[in-house]
Amino acid sequence: MKEAEGSVCQHFQRAAEVLGRRWNPQIVRVLLGGPQRFGEIREAIPGISDHLLSERLKQLEAEGIVRREVTGGRPVLIEYTLTPAGTDLHGAIGALGAWAERWAVEPSGQSRSAAGGRSR
């Protein structure tokens, strides 16, 4: 059965819930750059706490978006990478970033577009 125009299917709803959780898009964006250790991810995302980063990484792993890889040795090396499903978010995350550059609200309350674009 075809979805009614303008309706939201259960798959879209689920994806929006996963990616709509605070910090998840930022984590995916960082991992699009390649494997990262916990501390590297934390440093790349201002304002995230260790507890929340750990929680979100576990959630993204359970959703099949992130893979936790443990390499034995001394010290043990733990890296996080994107699964193929996570890597496939590249277009969506890129589009969100492009939208943010154009339209995200500046602290002054003006959108970047209304303020004449982003100053560099």
CATH number at residue 84: 1.10.10.10
What separation in angstroms does the CA of 28 have from each of 6, 75, 76, 94, 107? 28, 26, 23, 11, 25
Read off the pLDDT of residues 9-57 as tens digits, 9 standing for 90 and up: 999 999 999 999 999 999 999 999 999 999 999 999 999 999 999 999 9
CA distance 92 to 104: 16
Residue 3 is assigned to a structural domain of this protein: no
Question: Hey, which residues does 67 pair with through a beta bridge?
Answer: 81
Q: In which domain, by residue range, is 58 found?
A: 10-102
- Is 54 within a domain? yes
108 belongs to a structural domain: no
Q: Is residue 118 included in any domain, yes or no? A: no
CA distance 12 to 7: 10
pLDDT digits (tens, 9 = 90+) for 66-111: 999 999 888 899 999 999 999 999 999 999 999 999 998 876 666 5
Total domains in the chain come to 1
Q: Partners of 80 in the beta sheet?
A: 36, 68
